[in-house]
Structure 1
């Protein structure tokens, strides 16, 4: 089952979380309000996550100078008032800076210490948001590690494919390590795919720097791609169809005059058992079509009507494309 990103966006969720938290801090919620809050928290995991972060920030309020909170909130000097009432006004004034007067400190602290390991199963696609506002879309059979530190935002991709939408931050580069190469950006949209013998990069928007283990590198802008081979050498930039390469995000496989050997390699990524193709003329046949990545059996059923081939079922349950 796919886990979709929160449809209203990270900033909207943070503002809603701040509003609910401010109400709860200002006094006990009425029973109907408690029910509404519980419903909102259950609507999406991101709701609970953002609300919990505000709870942590509340407990940290005593260690932040009162004057600092007032400056962050850009409010008039606050008269002496109970801590609860003061923080409530801070929350109401500061939704633009992480929704809390002490949000700058709290959210930054969380970002600087964020670590997580993520993975998807065969046929699973996931969308998620990182603490800095960057968004990731994970293809099936993907494994990665997220590590945000004081000087850098780092992703280690150990399997699969990810579409990155990186929040701009010139002071903290976003670095993706995959196979024998790295991709470095400050803010852009690009796709990274790790195969057994290469790492492929395609840029949809902005620019990235791809660097190989042998110090070779390439600068890519929108509509360009490159790859890093098993020896760590970066290929010269070449034109790519980013929409076709990332059609997996919509559950599609798009082939434009692709050799059958390439089609088989791609389709195998979406099957429990690998798909094979007979070498020689069959593997060199070319295909242009669009199929569902969620039903690759439909592709096998249709293929004999498109090309002069047949599908052979092997003893281990896998399939091979052979000459008709």
Structure 2
């Protein structure tokens, strides 16, 4: 899909939508923990992807958006569904079995760093300039500080959970690069619905093989978590995401990366009493600095043309 040209100013509506998207995606970490109280990892992720796909296809039908006719898109949707949904969602949810919601959100913010590195390796117009290299280096330093020395020097389920979330960010980076050409020209809602459907292609067989047919006998809190993951964190979030993209541009949209961790940290503290160590907050501060450098616009690009 094509992306609009960068926009330097953010309207009040775009700011409101950015805040809404941060609240929705920030709450996904809380919903993951709620759902995991009664369902397996693959069951949680499959419910999220399936529910989100159904909701978005209903939206596409109601708006009578044109459907793609190229059969090659089926393979592309399957690849996108793996890279952007099945793999990262599964890794994040599994990781949250062993680490707090806030820490998972902080580590997930490294998505932007991996996106820059993958794009630089794949596209000739995304080269790593000295400022971007500095931003990447500082961002990685923040990740190292956040995960702490124990994850680097020894193995535990907690360290494995942290690496799982970082692996999800790596997958997101490849998804962003692949989407640049694979689903260009599609209506955003159609692309999102197709991608979620492609994720279901991988997840449903794995869930049935490993975890079996879901019992559906879940506590209300588990159902609430899974329903919100599907309808809010997937379907609604994608609609808000593409609206912001049209209003404010891709550069400004990336600000949501910095807004999600505080939401997840506060939610985890308020609901589950999670308390992160000082290294997590220090790591997020350093990571945020690296992301700010990556998103900084050159002076010449920020000046209006005369």
Scaled by the length of structure 1, the TM-score of the pair is 0.23
Structure with higher Rg: it is: 1
Q: Which has the higher strand share?
A: 1
Scaled by the length of structure 2, the TM-score of the pair is 0.24
Q: Which has the higher helix share?
A: 2
Q: Which structure is richer in relative contact order (CA contacts within 8 A, separation 6 or more)?
A: 2
